[in-house]
Structure 1
């Protein structure tokens, strides 16, 4: 079928499937899966495609297994991203306008309306639904909503009233990510850059210089005793300020940052870094030290002035060494504070000298620094004169003492300074007063979530550690904003619930969204939600008819809890863990999440995808270019869901060819008749493909499932056609094989399979066809074993022919003697092979064979190690008459190589080659 014809057929399918995936409760077993809803602020790219196609494959698979499947979708539009985009477009920002006009191809008349953020939401929500549908996603679109719908806001209000009642929400002052232009706290979803940046708490060590304080930020206050000097950038102009009544010197960037952290700052003047060089400052812990020049000091890093501890900081050691190599400051010596196993008196010096690093610009310095810092924290111990405690305990104690007794302050900054809001403004750390926080720090709540996590099926299992870590380190979370789209706190209308905090239990809203959206928002009181979601209250005393609320509760209980949630691994540190906390707080034990599948990330030709940087392929373009099924098959088959995938044009093109081969194979075998002995082998192999594909999909291994359902079956068919009589291309068995094969691949490539399903004489949507089930009566272990022996032997013959590359006159196969088979079975069936081998060697009949026995035992043992365990078991349990197998396939082998074939029992030959025959591995002589 041509690309044009296939596109027309895809459109035809979409029209006929429109209502097929709308589901209501019935008597069938349900399966409810959901995926992180998208933020529709730009066109979808192939990375988004994978996020939604993988769960669709699972939804289709479960549906074919007879499950009643709910796969819903909505759009997350709360927060400030679309507002920031709207502002940039309204201000004529060239980069943003070009992105939306050229990459996203928004029509000019629509783009002009984007000065209203809701127009962005409206346009891209519709675009997402259209593109998702074009990919064949089997979604119940009746349940679609956006998070600014008034009905959804009522749902969020209800949730937060309960959180407030449980004292899960408190008011306080905490450091948050803050955008000055938006005048608003921001979360990761609000950022263009720096999504993974964490807020770091520094201790400011206050050095005295006359009437001024010179603050140095550190994460290691315990090393202050080892300070030998300060570093300052001579090319930077620093600020003289009054901070909370005290005179300070610090970088301009630091002054701005500290002004956002509950400090009153007044600028008094400026001073060049160069004029501070060689000045002397002091601190009670280290006494008088000099300020030295260092161009590597970044004024945007913390205070822009750095204290130097060359004994324990590689950068400080090598910078000081560079100056001393010029004959300067030779009087300064490192001061040892910490003993570290594996290092000498000065760990930083040890590490630098052993690494061979020559200067501070070497890229290996970062790794070396982390190595030393980690070693000192995990295994380091302060010297006796500095308290003698392990560094991991001394650090907090030193920080507390310096804050209480030596004038130190706390400063917050990012570990990654490139943090940008979607509005285009830089993001800072700000201390916000009167902010509302979710108490994720509550130890009792954490304990409950740990217990709940133990009951959840996590895929892959390795992510459990990351969930455990996140639960432990989560601190109170700023859950409100002053600016943006969203739901106002019911008790404090000045604040809006921020995006990550209003997307924690929406999976429950999905279950009845199509019905809730038809109800006036004012009638959705907290009491209505209490009854529907918690079974509390009286259904007759609510502002809705009794039958309405009873119906809502019945449908919610039919679908909930959800069976599996699909989301990206970078959301473990926030959303995926947040939703566990909120489910625990709101819903009963029997309604807690049952499972989660965590996705890897997407690459494009080896580089990270980024819409803002233009490094993407739009999903719609990919579908139009290579077809929806090609996109689907590549995205779910190039890697397992939890692995990173890489969209590479060459590999995508090969996927298109694979689908073409599948189409041609099915289409060309519709009229085959007659029967042949090899048919039974093909039917038997197909039962194993069914089992393996089913097992893989049940474990969410979409790539492995495709290996079995596509490549495995294709390999079997290739051998099958090779084994048919000369001139014969197929038989009537292919009708049954095709019927199974089409259904096995239907979850992956539904459009192609739908068409083949129809031309094969079937009716209806293949999404509801029965999933193939292994028929044990069609499993023929004997014939599979025989063909496996033949396949392996043919491969060996071909290898030998390639190697010798001479004209040959005959092929002789020496089949293994019975005594070697006995040895094979004895060794294969024991768990203590060394003992059994010794017993074999002691046997009198074996002793008589001498070296032949020794060689055979060694070779058979090696062979057993190399063969697949399942095959070894079959050989032992089923037994096989090798000579009979080769006699019956002799004609085939002779036809393959156009050479006469001799089959000889190795015991009946004196040829040296005969002694090399092993069970399931005949010796081959080509003359």
Structure 2
């Protein structure tokens, strides 16, 4: 494995073995954390960026003289590895190909993956090995896994606090559920669909003969503008007895309703084509016909749709298509909502203005969302329909339908497919006797929002997304029946799920290397009360060790910055704020967060499950660790999306080679100090200042522009003007050591070798960061 661009890796890794182990000292601290990985597969270059960017920041502040802590652990809680293990055990060809061919797991090791813990052991070891090869300056003494006995006792302490504070309750809620695993599933348990949210539909009951045809809607207030129903003529529907009443729904809907507190018995099949031109009725809109529409998806909610062409672009264009063929020309849109910026029939105006010719136009989804959003935010029903705002009418009409017109609610995903890691389809199920974290609690939300307002968020634009998440966050199913992890205190039949046992582990890092010296059975509630909250107890065991842990915790906490991807704002990053505010006093709450953009590979989103990734180890072997690091931190700022392209990475390697060659060539140049040397030294002061400012603001790309490209440009200018002159007695000599230090956080392998060649003392990783000298700035 080639770490530095001259191939000398093992020397640096040996020198760094214990170099980054951090302990409390008289120096100011800088404590950063990153979302710990779930070791169920190999690291790709997207993961690499997640950990390399914080490493650059850690190395920078270490050279600035701070005591820096950058720890790492492995998140193995939950059912994902169990699902993977089951797929491999049953010979799932896709899973086997993924692990054997993409992740390069040897056949002998792959056979052991029928044991979930074998997966954890293999990939946590692989992660650590590749992280070391990436040059991460981690304090590996603090490594732990979330199934370690001591960590479980820590989680038990946390959850006793949450329950005592009233933040945990038991009840019935809709959850994502895998029938194959017979278990609720969270984001980490999913192979596909981790962004899918559960949404509530109102089933509007239309009468037809002796049955009901329920149509699912998110906009019950539009019942007054319904002109027809849409049914897919190519679908086979079923007449189903639901709670003893006859419903006509898709077969998929019948299966879903059975999971949502309904008794369901399928009676007979009904062809969708036989329903066309039938008449249905509802007290709020009268009699209307059933029309054919191929866009109706039997897999979405009830498989039937009501049509509101005045306010739904899809309905408008579908009706327009039929009428263009001379069919159903007597049906006209019924406007019922006035909204600023639109004329009487918003859907018609939006479609015609956009020049959309048919239902398959890719702009239709965006157009629909624009109309719906405008009407929800600013729309008001006409006086003859009640005069309420759309926001108010949505709830009041839904309640009216449930109370008087036999409507019920049905829960569905807002996007599909949703697939468990075991390979099975995930459904929405109403789960009873489940434990929930009450993120809906207004008082808890207020505490979190108040603390968020004091935090340093990078980039600043993400603050609005955090605020939205805090506002809409609902109760969260926090336990599972099967998987790895900690049993719920007081109800050990349940396990705490992955996104709920990973919220304050940043505090555990501060003591993880010490607490393993105490047997887990001695770690009762008072132990953690003392370590983290300072509450003394006469019965504390091993007091000297606990005092050392208390001292360590108070030195490091709170963490200064947490680094993670923007897709975790809607769950983990916000959850950890809720849990911190519930347990710790204000002076120990998180100070800042840096939110990353996403990773692309040749323009497409990286996805391990789809094989669209480039493994980090392969990248290091192909290009070298420093090349990988320099590209990942320099191709975009951390909060921007980056795009891995081999040809651009290869050019980065050439840049590092030029830098190393320039340093070695310049260091051997001696001669009289020239005016151009003074110019070069003067320019360097600006680069030092701007590189420092960029890294203080987490702008790794800008830092690289200043510390590499701008300096290289100055050197080219310098050389053109000193051709044939024996310069270099001061300018070039000063530049060599300063330039090496400036780039050391980004390309540490190369810079350690150069620092040694330059006769630098110790490791460049601990050399003083260059400081600009105003006295060397040429003001002339």
Deviations 1:266-324 (A, max 9, x none): 11111111111111111000111111111111101110011111122121122122222
Q: How far is 1:779 from its partner?
A: 1.4
Q: How far is 1:730 from its partner?
A: 3.8
For the pair 1:203 / 2:190, whether they are aligned, the reply is: no
Aligned to 1:153: 152
2:611 aligns with one of 609, 614, 617: 614
1:584 aligns with one of 572, 581, 585: 581
Contact 2:75–2:146 (Cα < 8 Å) also in 1: yes
Deviations 1:561-599 (A, max 9, x none): 111110101111110010011011111111100111111
Aligned to 1:269: 268
Question: Separation in 1 of the partners of 2:472 and 2:608?
Answer: 31
Q: How does 1:400-411 map to 2 (within 5 A)?
A: 400-411=399-410
Shift in CA distance, 616/4, structure 1 to aligned 2, threshold 3 Å: closer
For the pair 1:11 / 2:10, whether they are aligned, the reply is: yes
2:564 aligns with one of 564, 567, 571: 567
Shift in CA distance, 754/274, structure 1 to aligned 2, threshold 3 Å: same
Contact 1:721–1:729 (Cα < 8 Å) also in 2: no
Question: Unmatched 5+ residue regions in structure 2?
Answer: none
Question: Separation in 2 of the partners of 1:484 and 1:433?
Answer: 19
Q: How does 1:35-434 map to 2 (within 5 A)?
A: 35-434=34-433
Three-state SS of the structure 2 residue aligned to 1:92 is: coil
Deviations 1:824-857 (A, max 9, x none): xxxxxxxxxxxxxxxxxxxxxxxxxxxxxxxxxx
Deviations 1:204-255 (A, max 9, x none): 1001112211100001111111111111111111111111121111001111
Three-state SS of the structure 2 residue aligned to 1:292 is: strand
Q: TM-score, normalised by structure 2?
A: 0.98
1:724 aligns with one of 722, 725, 730: 722
Question: Separation in 1 of the partners of 2:343 and 2:566?
Answer: 40
Q: How far is 1:3 from its partner?
A: 6.5
Shift in CA distance, 344/227, structure 1 to aligned 2, threshold 3 Å: same
Contact 2:3–2:624 (Cα < 8 Å) also in 1: no
Aligned to 2:733: 735
Q: How far is 1:732 from its partner?
A: 3.6
Three-state SS of the structure 1 residue aligned to 2:666 is: coil
Aligned to 1:644: 641
Q: How far is 1:389 from its partner?
A: 1.7
Q: How does 1:603-682 map to 2 (within 5 A)?
A: 603-673=600-670, 674-682=672-680
Question: Separation in 2 of the partners of 1:738 and 1:569?
Answer: 38
Contact 2:6–2:750 (Cα < 8 Å) also in 1: no
Aligned to 2:533: 534
Question: Separation in 1 of the partners of 2:725 and 2:503?
Answer: 63
Three-state SS of the structure 2 residue aligned to 1:643 is: coil
Aligned to 2:760: 762
Question: Separation in 2 of the partners of 1:565 and 1:379?
Answer: 38
Query: 629-638 vs 348-357, which deviates more?
Result: 348-357
Question: Separation in 2 of the partners of 1:71 and 1:531?
Answer: 24
Aligned to 2:518: 519
Contact 1:672–1:732 (Cα < 8 Å) also in 2: no
Deviations 1:407-440 (A, max 9, x none): 1100110110211111111111111111111111
Contact 1:242–1:248 (Cα < 8 Å) also in 2: yes
Q: How does 1:849-860 map to 2 (within 5 A)?
A: none
Q: How far is 1:373 from its partner?
A: 1.5
Contact 2:5–2:626 (Cα < 8 Å) also in 1: no
Three-state SS of the structure 1 residue aligned to 2:361 is: coil
Three-state SS of the structure 2 residue aligned to 1:248 is: strand
Question: Separation in 1 of the partners of 2:441 and 2:377?
Answer: 26
Name the larger-Rg structure: 1
Contact 1:724–1:730 (Cα < 8 Å) also in 2: no
Q: How far is 1:728 from its partner?
A: 4.1
1:558 aligns with one of 555, 563, 566: 555
Q: How far is 1:8 from its partner?
A: 4.7
Three-state SS of the structure 2 residue aligned to 1:665 is: helix
Question: Separation in 1 of the partners of 2:4 and 2:124?
Answer: 28
Q: How far is 1:188 from its partner?
A: 1.2
Contact 2:2–2:625 (Cα < 8 Å) also in 1: no
Three-state SS of the structure 1 residue aligned to 2:9 is: helix
Q: How far is 1:5 from its partner?
A: 8.3
Q: How far is 1:4 from its partner?
A: 9.4
Q: How does 1:386-535 map to 2 (within 5 A)?
A: 386-535=385-534
Contact 2:317–2:358 (Cα < 8 Å) also in 1: yes
Contact 2:78–2:483 (Cα < 8 Å) also in 1: yes
Aligned to 1:827: none
Q: How far is 1:394 from its partner?
A: 1.3
1:745 aligns with one of 736, 743, 760: 743
Moved over 4 A (4+): 2-8
Q: How far is 1:375 from its partner?
A: 2.2
Q: TM-score, normalised by structure 1?
A: 0.83
Contact 2:438–2:475 (Cα < 8 Å) also in 1: yes
Deviations 1:668-710 (A, max 9, x none): 1122222111111111111111111110000010110111111
Q: How far is 1:347 from its partner?
A: 2.0
Q: How far is 1:766 from its partner?
A: 1.2
Query: 91-100 vs 712-721, which deviates more?
Result: 712-721
CA RMSD of aligned residues (A): 1.4
Contact 1:530–1:537 (Cα < 8 Å) also in 2: yes
Higher RCO (C-alpha 8 Å, min separation 6):
2
Q: How far is 1:376 from its partner?
A: 1.8
Question: Separation in 1 of the partners of 2:471 and 2:163?
Answer: 22
Shift in CA distance, 4/239, structure 1 to aligned 2, threshold 3 Å: closer
Question: Separation in 2 of the partners of 1:411 and 1:85?
Answer: 31
Aligned to 2:545: 548
Question: Separation in 1 of the partners of 2:319 and 2:3?
Answer: 69
Question: Separation in 1 of the partners of 2:4 and 2:359?
Answer: 62
Question: Separation in 2 of the partners of 1:412 and 1:330?
Answer: 35
Question: Unmatched 5+ residue regions in structure 1?
Answer: 783-927
Q: How far is 1:7 from its partner?
A: 6.3
Three-state SS of the structure 2 residue aligned to 1:267 is: strand
Contact 1:721–1:730 (Cα < 8 Å) also in 2: no
Question: Separation in 1 of the partners of 2:362 and 2:669?
Answer: 66
Indicate the structure with greater helix content: 1
Question: Separation in 2 of the partners of 1:370 and 1:733?
Answer: 61
Contact 2:3–2:620 (Cα < 8 Å) also in 1: no
Three-state SS of the structure 1 residue aligned to 2:265 is: strand
Three-state SS of the structure 1 residue aligned to 2:667 is: coil
Question: Separation in 1 of the partners of 2:138 and 2:48?
Answer: 14
Q: How far is 1:186 from its partner?
A: 1.1
Question: Separation in 1 of the partners of 2:5 and 2:604?
Answer: 31
Q: How far is 1:88 from its partner?
A: 0.3
